[in-house]
Structure 1
Amino acid sequence: MGGVEMYNKPWGLPPGNQRPWQYCPPQNMPVQHDPSQTSPTRHYVKTNIINTVIPVFHPAHTTTVNKHVITYQHYFPYRCNGVNGYSPQGLGYAPPGHSYSRSRFR
């Protein structure tokens, strides 16, 4: 089969058994343009995540109070002297043959 015969295929007998139809090769016609068609708009959502750092300061202050506790310890030194003394008394009693003299008690 040649190139033309490829397009000219008989699809049966013509009506009334007449002569077979003749087929011509197809012709390329110029491209035709119809009015454009627009489908409904599709909406898309694109999310951008942007990280932002915000420094937050929480200031604090500590005051140190040093409390000095002063304890007074009072001392009252006091001296006492004790003197043991004795003084003999003459009761007017003397054993027989014995006498007291003043020189003996000095």
Structure 2
Amino acid sequence: MDIDPDCKLILNNVGIHFNNITDLEGIFFPREQLLSEIKYEQIKKSIPELKKKFSSSFMTSLQKKAETNQKWPLINLVRQILSVYNYLLMPVRKCDGYTSDGIKKYKRFFKIVRKNII
């Protein structure tokens, strides 16, 4: 299965760069990349094109109120696009040292993995 050009454009715009759909597996990137409101504003322009291909009841990130009702609409959009192509967005936490009070700090990442289809 080949990835839709609009979906590929959205993934590339958020910093997930790939040539072929099989290149997605194992991509590791910081979570902050998907928290940018500026990136979401840029990508919002592509959502009407996705609505022509996917149902907004299937992909809730395409709904009109997604921006106000969802805490992280860009994370949800990327997660739902990857899900269509049988990939998952797995959260990963890496230790980033300790605070002065001795509390462990973490950096958060996402890793793209292929779904196990039974």
Same fold (TM over 0.5): no
Band of TM-score, shorter chain = under 0.3
Higher relative contact order (CA 8 A, sep 6+): 2
Q: Normalization by structure 2: what TM-score?
A: 0.14
Q: Normalization by structure 1: what TM-score?
A: 0.15
Higher helix share: 2
**Greater gyration radius:** 1
